[in-house]
Amino acid sequence: MERRRLATIWLGGCSGCHMSFLDLDEWLFELAQHIDLVYSPLADVKEYPDHVDVALVEGAVANEDHLHLIRQVRERTRILIAFGDCAVTGNVTALRNPLGAPEALLHTIYIERAEIAGCLPHAPGIVPQLLDKVQPVHKVVPVDVYLPGCPPPAPRIRALLEQVIAGEDIRLTGREMIKFG
Amino acid sequence: MAARTFTIDDQLISAREGETILQAAREHGISIPTLCHLDGVSDVGACRLCLVEIEGSRALRPACVTPVVEEMVVRTDTERLREYRRMIIELLFAERNHVCAVCVANGHCELQDLAIAVGMDHVRFDYAFPRCDVDISHPLFGIDHNRCVLCTRCVRVCDEVEGVHTWDVAGRGADARVITDMRQPWGEARSCTSCGKCVLACPTGAIFRRGATVGEMERDRNKIAYIVAAREQRW
Amino acid sequence: MDISELLTIAEHERTMRRPTCIRCCTALGCQSAGSLSLKQRLEEAVAEVDRTDIEVIGVGCMGMCGHGPLVRVDPDGVLYEHVHAADAPSIVAALDGGDATAPRGDPQHPFFTLQKRIVLENSGIIDPERIESYIAAGGYQALYCVLHDMTPAEVIDVVTRSGLRGRGGAGYPTGLKWATVAKSHGDRKYVVCNADEGDPGAFMDRSIIESDPHKILEGMAIAAYAVGADQGYVYVRAEYPLAIQRLQRAIAQARRLGLLGAQIFDAGFTFRIDIRVGAGAFVCGEETALMASIEGRRGQPRPRPPYPAESGLWGRPTLINNVETFANIPPIIRNGAEWFAAIGAEHSKGTKVFALTGKIRHTGLIEVPMGVTLRQIVEEMGGGVPEGRVKAVQTGGPSGGCIPAALLDTPVDYESLQRVGSIMGSGGMVVMDDATNMVDVAHFYMEFCKDESCGKCIPCRAGTAQMLHMLNLIRSGQATAADLARLEQLCIMVKETSLCGLGQSAPNPVLSTMKYFREEYEAFVRDEGLAG
């Protein structure tokens, strides 16, 4: 069977989904028989490669860097999977949205509540600009598969990846597969 | 009491006269999704999840308030109904801030269960991300409007079972909120007896026991019906 | 009070009349244009020339509201428009020859000649603040006739045979509704007049009440006799202060003459009417919400059945009709079912009052026989749009739809309007010209519905908010073709699942503009790329 090119992406999230991915434990060895991990925060790859078969996208789109990366991912990936609640709904990452524009929030955090003379983080090219609103991935680019969960438990990730490897039409239903939270 | 026979989803059903489609269906193990319905209090037909198709009627009918009629033919699970139910659940998730991951009711939430039941793996509508209050002025309980679906179970259980009417609804449309007394903070609502029936009745994490953290808000909603039945038998 | 007293009042009123009568409109539209001071100046001008053969009376709406304040000098029927207080002396002087300084209106304009006035028969003629004026026009004789010469069943039979259908919008057969209430059992029954007119651009009911309030009271009393009710309520919105004031005055006058209250016309019939003022919620025009509001509860709808005819106010049988429906009753009783049934279209009998507004030369209030075409109303009576061309006509308010100019030959009746995707509604008719963007129109109505949704049922509460949001996305160029399709799906869902008429019809302005003006939506759409 042809080996699939897998990528995992970490946008605005806590990396809990990636931790859950690692919870696949010894099944990771089996997975490694079928895939090449071509891009991941778990691997030292700087540039998102071309011709990726499957991408697991953790996290919501919260800043300019996320926006840039997710567009690149979409262009270069066949099956884009929103991986976990932040990617699917915005989740905890989007909890700032009801509070309004990010400037006010940054001001509260870095100036009003700073213990010593605070200043707003400003380092173009290093610290990315926050977007006005945190968005789930499908609001920014088309998403092919949604895998809810905060984080999705390892068996759920495995069930999905087994379908991916088998090349089936991916269909997720029921409490075990699509429960949020 | 006269009996009625009719069909739900091609299954022949017998029911007592005056029973609703929902009651008859549940007695026969046919599940129709509901959210505003709560055994023990009156029905308001507001959530529209229990809408069913009835042969010969153009309009969809809420099963919770529609009495059975001899020989009626009811469909509860058509393609159209499934799509409408999913859209209704999606609208609820988009309307306020239902963040299951950090909710006291995670794992014990009727809205979460309904999302699974209707196959909602994501919300196709844009989230409104409204700013909603959390009121923890009551010494025992709290209300988080981010998670309220306006089912009005709390309003009805407080009025009809506890006989107090601390809860009501103020404002309209998307601005509607459940309120205590004349929109005072719950802790200052003098009519509240702190009986906790609203806490039992709430389908989501909106009304909770203070101190409960993520996933800890379990509740036995059947207790409401039990209280009502016990009282009726004593009389 | 008996019939001879009634006729004496009428006779006395007629003998008091002066040969020349200057009628000055005092309905709300003309009042806001200054007609009260105008009327006062007219009275002073008459006093100054010391003419006892001239009287000045305040009357209700004459129709061409956009040209107000209006003054008509009878018996010659000379019409003046845009009249200022300063014109008053010249109008009085013109009675002896010469020209008045106010512009002359044309009473032979199709706006007037194509009308058929049944509901508005007294409007602009009688003084709405004096019961004697109504009685002199034959008022309360129908009530007398009903109480003395007809059984309740006979009254219902006449209404049924007349073919009258509810003028509130849905067009339910009035006689059938009455018969259901009459047959329902209850220790008390109620009659309710729905005057909670709230459609943007609609002012039929307000004008009718302001111009001829007693007609409503008489119609309600006849209905009460027919169905066996002894208490009536007029539910009128607080935004109509003049209508409320005139109703209050009319009820007090009728009570004083024994035309309301106990033992009306000594016939063993008792009927009282009270006013209930709404608190500014559009949804309270929906009958179950209206009843909740009268009972002092939160004004929100409940599922039907049970219908008000069986279980209405405080669980008792309740007849709810709209203002215009009740206004049709006295003429039907007076002239007979056959007379009424001979007017109008096959399944829509009688006339309909419309509030003609928007981009049109002659805005105002008209009453036309059912079956006239939209083209006749818009182009002939309304004089067309001032600039450019007619693009669409919106009927039925936020519950209705936009009918494109190509379908202007559609006759105005319940079924025809429904067939083209709109509804008769209560009678708002907004004309749009080709400078109007139809997505903006849909947005306007959706904003209205979102603000007015009571919030009880999810599809309406969350659906209108979401539809409005999607329309905003479209208008700001952020939507894709997939979003258009999703909006359409959402519209259909909200229409089919909402609890009451507000939600069930809220998507109509979007659906009808999408149907007839889809290219205007597509013009906003950006390239595919981000699908949801």
What pLDDT, in 10s, does the model give residues C195-225?
A: 999 998 899 999 999 999 999 999 999 999 9
Span C465-471, average pLDDT: 98
Return the structure tokens found at C124: 């602009």
Tell me, yes or no, whether C369 and C493 share the same domain.
Answer: no
Return the residue of B nearest to C503 by Cα. Answer: B173
Taking Cα atoms as reference points, which of C314, C317, C224, C310 lies closest to residue C271?
A: C224
pLDDT at A2: 79
Report chain A residues whose CB lies below 8 A from the CB of C529.
142
Pairing outcome for strands A145-147 and B61-62: unpaired
Domain with residue C417: its CATH number is 3.10.20.600
Q: What is the total count of domains within chain A?
A: 1
C-alpha dihedral over A153, A155, A161, A163, to 10 degrees?
-130
Which amino acid makes up residue A116?
I
**What H or E segment, with its residue span, contains residue C415?**
helix C414-419
C482 lies in some domain: yes
pLDDT over threshold 90, residue C87 = yes
B 34-73 near C (Cβ less than 8 A): 44-48, 51, 59-60, 62, 65
Report chain C residues whose CB lies below 8 A from the CB of A138.
532
Distances (CA, A) of C211 to C26, C169, C360: 8, 21, 24
The pLDDT-based confidence of A168 (bands split at 50, 70, 90) is confident
* C497: contact with B, CB 8 A cutoff: yes
Mutual angle of helices C213-227 and C204-211, in 10-degree steps: 100
pLDDT over threshold 90, residue B95 = yes
Tell me, yes or no, whether C325 and C379 share the same domain.
Answer: no
The pLDDT-based confidence of A121 (bands split at 50, 70, 90) is confident
Q: Please, what is the average pLDDT of chain A?
A: 95
The pLDDT-based confidence of C426 (bands split at 50, 70, 90) is confident
pLDDT over threshold 60, residue B235 = no
Report chain C residues whose CB lies below 8 A from the CB of A142.
529-531
Measure CB to CB from residue A88 to each of B107, B122, B130 and give the nearest one. B122
The C-alpha of C255 sits at a distance from chain B's nearest C-alpha, in angstroms, of 38
C131 lies in some domain: no
C134 lies in some domain: no
Tell me, yes or no, whether C151 and C108 share the same domain.
Answer: no
**H helices present in C170-305, as ranges:** 174-183, 204-211, 213-227, 241-256, 287-294
pLDDT over threshold 80, residue A39 = yes
Report chain A residues whose CB lies below 8 A from the CB of B146.
98
Return the structure tokens found at C404: 């494109």
Supply the pTM of this predicted model: 0.95
Q: How many angstroms separate the CA atoms of B9 and B30, rounded?
A: 9
pLDDT over threshold 70, residue C383 = yes
Distant-in-sequence, close-in-space partners of A61: CB < 8 Å, separation ≥ 6: A11, A12, A67, A70, A131, A134, A135, A136, A137, A139, A140
C-alpha dihedral over B60, B64, B69, B73, to 10 degrees?
50
What pLDDT, in 10s, does the model give residues C260-270?
A: 999 999 999 99
Which amino acid makes up residue C19?
P
C432: phi then psi, degrees, rounded to nearest 5 = -120, 145
Report chain C residues whose CB lies below 8 A from the CB of B125.
466, 469, 486, 490
A91 lies in some domain: yes
Return the residue of C nearest to A75 by Cα. Answer: C529
State the residue range of the domain holding C410.
351-393+402-430
Domain with residue C287: its CATH number is 3.40.50.11540
Domain with residue C85: its CATH number is 3.40.30.10
Q: How many angstroms separate the CA atoms of C220 and C92, rounded?
A: 40
Q: How many angstroms separate the CA atoms of C64 and C382, rounded?
A: 9
Tell me, yes or no, whether C214 and C277 share the same domain.
Answer: yes
pLDDT over threshold 70, residue A155 = yes
Measure CB to CB from residue C463 to each of B60, B91, B152 and give the nearest one. B91
C130 lies in some domain: no
pLDDT at C531: 42
Tell me, yes or no, whether C61 and C204 share the same domain.
Answer: no
Return the structure tokens found at B60: 């969809």
Tell me, yes or no, whether C317 and C376 share the same domain.
Answer: no
* C472: contact with B, CB 8 A cutoff: no
pLDDT over threshold 50, residue C79 = yes
C125 lies in some domain: no
What pLDDT, in 10s, does the model give residues B33-56?
A: 999 999 999 999 999 999 999 999
Q: How many angstroms separate the CA atoms of B208 and B188, rounded?
A: 17
C121 lies in some domain: no
C132 lies in some domain: no
Span A138-151, average pLDDT: 97
A117 lies in some domain: no
Tell me, yes or no, whether C424 and C521 share the same domain.
Answer: no
Q: How many CB pairs under 8 A join B and C?
A: 97
The C-alpha of B200 sits at a distance from chain C's nearest C-alpha, in angstroms, of 21
In this complex, do B116 and A99 lie within 8 Å of one another by their Cβ atoms?
no
pLDDT at B234: 75
Span B98-115, average pLDDT: 97
pLDDT over threshold 80, residue C90 = yes
* A78: contact with B, CB 8 A cutoff: no
What pLDDT, in 10s, does the model give residues C105-144?
A: 999 999 999 999 999 999 999 999 999 999 999 999 999 9
Tell me, yes or no, whether C380 and C475 share the same domain.
Answer: no
Domain with residue C485: its CATH number is 1.20.1440.230
A85: phi then psi, degrees, rounded to nearest 5 = -60, -35
Residue C268 sits at the vertex; the CA angle it makes with C265 and C273, to the nearest 5 degrees, is 70
Measure CB to CB from residue C497 to each of B51, B149, B174 and give the nearest one. B51
A 127-146 near C (Cβ less than 8 A): 138-142
State the residue range of the domain holding A92.
4-96+129-178
- Sign, CA dihedral C195-C201-C206-C212, equals negative
Q: Give the chains touching C; criterion: ≥3 Cβ pairs < 8 Å.
A: A, B
Pairing outcome for strands B11-16 and B3-8: antiparallel
Q: What is the DSSP string of B184-204?
A: B-GGG-TT-----HHHHH-SS
Domain with residue A19: its CATH number is 3.40.50.700
Return the structure tokens found at B138: 């009551």
Tell me, yes or no, whether C236 and C372 share the same domain.
Answer: no
| Residue found under tokens 């089996």 | A30
Ranges of each domain in chain B: 3-77, 93-233
pLDDT at C204: 96
Return the structure tokens found at B25: 């269906």
**What H or E segment, with its residue span, contains residue C130?**
none
pLDDT at B233: 86
B17: phi then psi, degrees, rounded to nearest 5 = -60, 135
pLDDT over threshold 50, residue C532 = no
List own/partner pairs for C348-352 with CB under 8 A and 24 or more apart: C348/C163, C348/C165, C348/C171, C348/C413, C348/C414, C348/C415, C348/C424, C349/C162, C349/C163, C349/C164, C349/C165, C350/C118, C350/C162, C350/C163, C350/C164, C351/C116, C351/C117, C351/C118, C351/C119, C352/C167, C352/C324, C352/C412, C352/C424, C352/C427
Q: Is C452 helix (H, G, I), strand (E, B) or coil?
A: helix
Taking Cα atoms as reference points, which of C490, C501, C496 lies closest to residue C462?
A: C490
Q: How many angstroms separate the CA atoms of C90 and C98, rounded?
A: 9
> B3-77, which class in CATH?
alpha beta
A113 lies in some domain: no
C524 lies in some domain: yes
Burial of C297 (0-12, 13-18, 19+ CB in 10 A): exposed
Report chain A residues whose CB lies below 8 A from the CB of C531.
142
Q: How many angstroms separate the CA atoms of C524 and C477, rounded?
A: 5
Report chain A residues whose CB lies below 8 A from the CB of C530.
139-142
- Sign, CA dihedral C509-C514-C517-C522, equals positive
Phi-psi region of A91 (alpha: psi -120 to 50; beta: other; left: phi over 0): left
* B106: contact with A, CB 8 A cutoff: yes
Span A166-173, average pLDDT: 90
Burial of C203 (0-12, 13-18, 19+ CB in 10 A): buried
- Sign, CA dihedral B53-B59-B60-B62, equals negative
Q: Give the chains touching A; criterion: ≥3 Cβ pairs < 8 Å.
A: B, C
Q: Is the peptide bond before B139 cis (omega within 30 degrees of 0)?
A: no
Q: Is C428 helix (H, G, I), strand (E, B) or coil?
A: strand
CA atoms within 13 A on the CB side of C258: 13
Q: How many angstroms separate the CA atoms of A118 and A109, rounded?
A: 9
Q: What is the largest CA-CA distance in chain C?
A: 81
C-alpha dihedral over C453, C457, C462, C467, to 10 degrees?
-70
Query: What is the C-alpha radius of gyration for chain A, rounded to an integer number of angstroms?
Result: 17
Q: What is the total count of domains within chain C?
A: 4
pLDDT at C530: 47
Tell me, yes or no, whether C356 and C335 share the same domain.
Answer: no
pLDDT at C172: 95
A152 lies in some domain: yes
* Cβ B202 vs Cβ B154: under 8 Å: yes
* C527: contact with A, CB 8 A cutoff: no
pLDDT over threshold 80, residue B165 = yes
Domain B93-233 of CATH type 3.30.70.20: yes
* C531: contact with A, CB 8 A cutoff: yes
**H helices present in C26-168, as ranges:** 28-32, 35-48, 88-93, 110-113, 131-136, 141-149, 152-162
Tell me, yes or no, whether C444 and C426 share the same domain.
Answer: no
3-state secondary structure chain A: CCCEEEEEEECECCCHHHHHHHCCCCHHHHHHHHEEEEECCCCCCCCCCCCEEEEEEECEEEEHHHHHHHHHHHHHEEEEEEECHHHHHCHHHHHHHHHCCHHHHHHHHHHHCCCCCCCCCCCCCCCCCEEEEEECHHHCCCCCEEECCCCCCHHHHHHHHHHHHHCCCCCCCCHHHHCCC
| Pairwise pLDDT comparison (C326 vs A116), residue with the higher score | C326
